[in-house]
Amino acid sequence: MAGSRPKSGPTMHDVAAAAGVSQATVSLVLNSAGGSRFSAETRKRVQDAVDTLGYRTNAHAKTLREGVSGMIGFVGDSVATSPFAGAIIEGAQQRAWEDGLLLLTVNTGGDKELEAASLDTMLSYKVAGVVYGAMYHRRLDVPEALTGVPSVVLNSQDRDGRVPSVAPDEVRGGYTATRRLLDAGHSRIAFFNIQSLESGLPAAVGRHEGYLTALGEAGLEPDPALIRFGRGGEEDGYDYTMELLTANKPPTAIFCGNDRGAWGAYQAVSDLRLSIPRDVSIVGFDNQAILAPNLRPGLTTLELPFVAMGRRAVELILQDTEPDGRVELMECPLIERNSVTRPTEMP
């Protein structure tokens, strides 16, 4: 009939009638309230009625009643377009879903106006908290808008030390990579960093520190001639490898600060008609899914723990962690493939 309102779907009253219980019972069961007040049989009757009728709770009404929605916000600069986006969002989404929450994700592309508008919208939805993610590990400024809502910085650190952060343990990662080569018997280990130490980039500073620590433990003095500081690109890995492997006293192993640099190193080794790992062993960092497993031989590398970090960030929000500026560093696992073996004499 013209002008009549369409049926909005089954109501809580319909569920109560189908289950043979009161509407209050349905509300308490669906909101996990009442504890052991209800028998397993009662809860099953309610759930069966919900499934049969296709009932959905009124999320807007729940937000008005409880002051918080069933969502967690996720704001990232360019995280959705980075090679690691799927893993970092997957981890956050998995953990949110385990508590019945949805992840509301916005990729800002570094646009501060879009970021501000996104945060305003999320806060208007009364999200339970906000994960503020970054494409790469750095120290960043957290928007003032997050002051009044549970927030966690993901894959970076709050420059002001107010908001909890979850990030990779770069120092331990650099140590593990170098230790793997030392354990294989190498003593002349080159290191190609992804930035200068002056940049302050945690990945560059931390991986370099881990490299030096591992050498020191092995009683080895770092050789400045084997250390290079680049921009983390394929071309740097190629140029540095060509330079060092044609020197009078070449390294027998290379720790590349990222997988892209390792890719360049592979190409240089091929052009020199040498072999990996027979002539030179290589370890990377990142475990880029489209790169590391597909090199020949497969690249031994450190994996950035994006799924675990995403989960942990949401967990901190669910625990209603105080904004104490803590920095939780998560281990980067070593992924063994076939690019490392014992050293042999170079021709």
d(CA 274, CA 277): 9
For 80-96, how does the pLDDT look when each residue is reduced to its tens digit (9 = 90+)? 556 666 788 889 999 88
Q: Tell me which residue has tokens 């309610």.
A: 46
Query: If DSSP codes are grouped into helix, strand and coil, which group holds residue 282?
Result: strand
Mean of pLDDT over the chain = 87
pLDDT for 179 beyond 70: yes
pLDDT in the model for residue 56: 64
Query: If DSSP codes are grouped into helix, strand and coil, which group holds residue 15?
Result: helix
pLDDT in the model for residue 31: 64
Q: What does 154-200 look like in DSSP terms, one character per residue?
A: ESSEETTS-S-EEEE-HHHHHHHHHHHHHHTT---EEEEESS-GGG-
CATH 3.40.50.10800 applies to domain 170-304: no
- Tokens coding 121: 């919208």
Percent of the chain with pLDDT over 90: 56
pLDDT for 108 beyond 50: yes
Architecture of domain 12-57: Orthogonal Bundle (1.10)
Pinpoint the residues of the chain covered by CATH 3.40.50.2300. 67-167+306-330, 170-304
Average pLDDT for 226-231:
97
Reported as type and span, the H/E element at residue 71 is strand 71-76
8: confidence class by pLDDT, cuts 50, 70, 90: low
Reported as type and span, the H/E element at residue 334 is strand 334-335
Whole-prediction pTM value? 0.79
Class at the top of the CATH hierarchy for domain 67-167+306-330: alpha beta
For 26-68, how does the pLDDT look when each residue is reduced to its tens digit (9 = 90+)? 877 776 654 456 788 888 898 899 888 887 655 444 444 454 5
For 318-329, how does the pLDDT look when each residue is reduced to its tens digit (9 = 90+)? 887 676 888 999
For 141-155, how does the pLDDT look when each residue is reduced to its tens digit (9 = 90+)? 999 888 888 999 999
From residue 63, alpha-carbon distances to 57, 124, 128 in Å are 11, 11, 10
5: confidence class by pLDDT, cuts 50, 70, 90: very low
18: confidence class by pLDDT, cuts 50, 70, 90: very high
The C-alpha angle 71, 77, 79, rounded to 5 degrees, equals 75
pLDDT in the model for residue 1: 43
Tell me which residue of 272, 285, 200 sits closest to 243, measured CA to CA: 272
69: confidence class by pLDDT, cuts 50, 70, 90: low
d(CA 11, CA 6): 14
pLDDT for 267 beyond 90: yes
CA 102 to chain centre: 18
Residue count (the chain): 347
pLDDT for 288 beyond 50: yes
Query: If DSSP codes are grouped into helix, strand and coil, which group holds residue 82?
Result: coil
Alpha helices in 31-135 (DSSP H): 40-53, 59-66, 85-98, 112-124
Reported as type and span, the H/E element at residue 329 is strand 327-330
pLDDT for 25 beyond 90: no
pLDDT in the model for residue 328: 95
Pinpoint the residues of the chain covered by CATH 1.10.260. 12-57
